[in-house]
Amino acid sequence: MTAPVLSTPVRARSARGSGGPAVAARGVRMAFGTTVVLDGVDLEVEEGTVFALLGPNGAGKTTMVNILTTLLEPDAGEIVVAGHDRLAHPDAVRRVIGMTGQFSAVDKLLTGEENLRLMADLRHLGRAAGARRAAELLERFDLVEAARTPVARYSGGMQRRLDLAMTLVGEPRLIFLDEPTTGLDPRSRRTMWDSIRELVAGGVTIFLTTQYLDEADQLADLVGILDRGRIVATGPPRELKAALPGGHVELRFADAGSVDRAAALLDGAQCDPEARTVQVPGDRSVAFLRGLLDRLAAAGLDAESLAIHEADLDDVFFALTGHPTTTEHRP
């Protein structure tokens, strides 16, 4: 099955986006030995938006982030990050980006406060400004009480919060988050999402990778689906989902008789007598729903409840790659 609108790359126009691209990559290739990890990746992220690189384990997400953040040199490709040629001027890129990796990039022997002060010193903020910034971030990430505790004694969620706080010390305008919520409990995950939304509200551009479809759905303006080293689709989550067939409206009735009559009345209806439901292909448009309800009313049928199901990104992923995402690690 091929989805029609999903040619690559599609440049997203979102309400939030403003300026030029914060990240632009073309033809990025990377192989480790004979294993091709990235096989010509093109992508573009508009300033002030959230881009989610979505894919299963081993798709090449982390490799892509490592290349963009100057940790790895690609075999080929043209890359511009925050207006700087990534390959020719890595230090110019390093000055303006922030990175929170998949594995916690904190110094476990130091305390939370010392970690933040270390970042402030390396950003050359000066003593007073550094102390102020550290205090501010400890407050913002709810780490004040743990400020003087060695990070080795922090919980996973606290380490992740400190990690992000350290990234923010230099007030970067472009932040890379490699699987920011992998391994977090649901509550820490929501806290992380809130922090990300707060940053976006402040105009920061976010490039995140995730294997969780709902995370991309929740946060991203634009999703790029990476599979086996290639971007197989790019688009806003809504658009990706809308492009797929499979949306339907589910009506529930009080008795089996109504189910049969409704099924006979509505085109393409499928009924489930046990659950007393009827599924009608369609979407969430008001015109469609009004028509549907009018026909039921005209026939004297009264539905107990109505639910709208859109295709989710799981369906999108399956449709595009022919295999499901890895979901066994999903919290």
Least gap, CB of 115 to another protein (angstroms): 8
C-beta of 95 vs 329, nearer to another protein: 95
Indicate whether 83 belongs to the interface with another protein (CB under 8 A).
no
C-beta of 8 vs 102, nearer to another protein: 102
CA distance 37 to 58: 8
Least gap, CB of 44 to another protein (angstroms): 21
Of 19-27, 100-108, 237-245, 310-318, the segment contacting another protein by CB under 8 A is 100-108
69 phi and psi angles, rounded to 5 deg:
-95, 15
Indicate whether 122 belongs to the interface with another protein (CB under 8 A).
yes
**What's the token pair of residue 43?**
């992508």
Of 52-60, 90-98, 262-270, 322-330, the segment contacting another protein by CB under 8 A is 90-98
Indicate whether 183 belongs to the interface with another protein (CB under 8 A).
no
**Cβ neighbours of residue 72 under 8 Å, at least 6 residues apart?**
30, 63, 66
The DSSP line for 202-216 is TT-EEEEEES-HHHH
43 phi and psi angles, rounded to 5 deg:
-160, 160
Indicate whether 95 belongs to the interface with another protein (CB under 8 A).
yes
Indicate whether 180 belongs to the interface with another protein (CB under 8 A).
no
Indicate whether 258 belongs to the interface with another protein (CB under 8 A).
no
**Are the CB atoms for 215 and 45 separated by under 8 Å?**
no
Indicate whether 110 belongs to the interface with another protein (CB under 8 A).
yes
C-beta of 114 vs 260, nearer to another protein: 114
Indicate whether 157 belongs to the interface with another protein (CB under 8 A).
no
The DSSP line for 143-202 is -STTTTSBGGGS-HHHHHHHHHHHHHTT--SEEEEESTTTT--HHHHHHHHHHHHHHHHT
Of 5-13, 99-107, 186-194, 269-277, the segment contacting another protein by CB under 8 A is 99-107
- Whose CA is closest to 180, among 155, 215, 214? 215
Indicate whether 205 belongs to the interface with another protein (CB under 8 A).
no
Indicate whether 299 belongs to the interface with another protein (CB under 8 A).
no
Window 60 to 79, contacts with another protein (CB under 8 A): 62, 66, 69-72
**Cβ neighbours of residue 164 under 8 Å, at least 6 residues apart?**
100, 141, 177, 180, 192, 195
**Are the CB atoms for 41 and 281 separated by under 8 Å?**
no
> Which positions touch another protein (CB under 8 A)?
62, 66, 69-72, 91-92, 94-95, 97, 99, 101-110, 114, 118, 121-124, 150, 166, 170
